[in-house]
Amino acid sequence: MKVIRAKSAGFCWGVERAIQVARDESQGGDKTVYTDGPLIHNSQMMAELGKEDIREVGNYQSDSKLNLPQKNEKESVVVVRAHGISPERRKYLKELGLPFRDGTCPDVGIIAGKIKVHADQGFDVVIFGDPNHPEVAGLLGYANGQGHVIRNEVDLKRLPKFNSGVVMVSQSTMFTHEFKNLSQILSKKYPELKIFDTICGATKERQSDLVQLVDDGADVLIVIGGKHSANTRKLAKLASSYDKPTFHIETADDIEKESFLEFKCVGVTAGASTPEFIIRSVCEKLETF
């Protein structure tokens, strides 16, 4: 079986940066690093980081109280993950009394900055994204109570009437074509709508590289990544839209040879939280078929 791999498969630079921040603080396990929620949405990589005493505390949304040990034999530090947090959450974490390091992806920081600047000027802010995603929860914290989250045209129709300026941004990992469609619809109602395409370059690259896999002859597609990873699920959804059999897997153990006997060429891509060692093991197993 021929295996072709997307160039962009694996960690995006924001995830790599957050991991490096945590590892720099851990110093190989000399210090305990507490991450506010899972540093990345990949259980296998979190297990690897656990060997360096990088520990997940709190919950997925980063909105729960952190029950940290009262005493620790080693120095401890709190690290913010790539998704970012709200100003209120930042204040809470800093008040815990531990050293604080920010692993927020700079791309997410740019979105937060655009929201804050316009909210401070009285704009209502429309965010295209998943209201349950921690990135969106963090971004809403910069909107001064004037933030509105939409996922589709139904949500768009439910928006209240805006009497002042309106600005529209996107969660960094959404589909570009959906953002374009929704922003065009909203701009018809508000001709002065300010639109900022804040979908990150890594997300756009993954989406275009997936199209390239199909163009290069893949007759089946594999998307590697955590089942709870939002960007990986979106990638799998996009892959299935090309009328090709699509498998969303987490590791090579999820691959059954019998499912691939009828195919000649498999295209492999992976979400932004999928480590290289998992992608490599998947490709190596497929090459034995």
Q: Which residues are catalytic?
A: 135
Q: Which two tokens stand for residue 43?
A: 């259980």
> Please, which residues have CB within 8 angstroms of residue 160's CB and are 6 or more apart in sequence?
148
- What are residue 47's phi and psi, to 5 degrees? -65, -40
Q: Identity (one letter) of the amino acid at 226?
A: G
Q: C-alpha dihedral over 148, 134, 235, 128, to 10 degrees?
A: 10
3-state secondary structure of 246: strand
Q: What distance in Å separates the CA atoms of residue 288 and residue 60, rounded to the nearest whole number?
A: 37
Instruction: Say which residue the tokens 């509105």 belong to.
Output: 148
Dihedral angle, C-alpha 52, 58, 59, 61, nearest 10 °? -110
Other CB atoms closer than 10 Å to residue 250's CB: what's the count? 19
Could you give the C-alpha distances from 80 to 57, 89, 93, 134, 142, in angstroms and in order? Answer: 11, 10, 9, 12, 17
Rounded to whole angstroms, how far apart are CA atoms 12 and 278?
A: 15
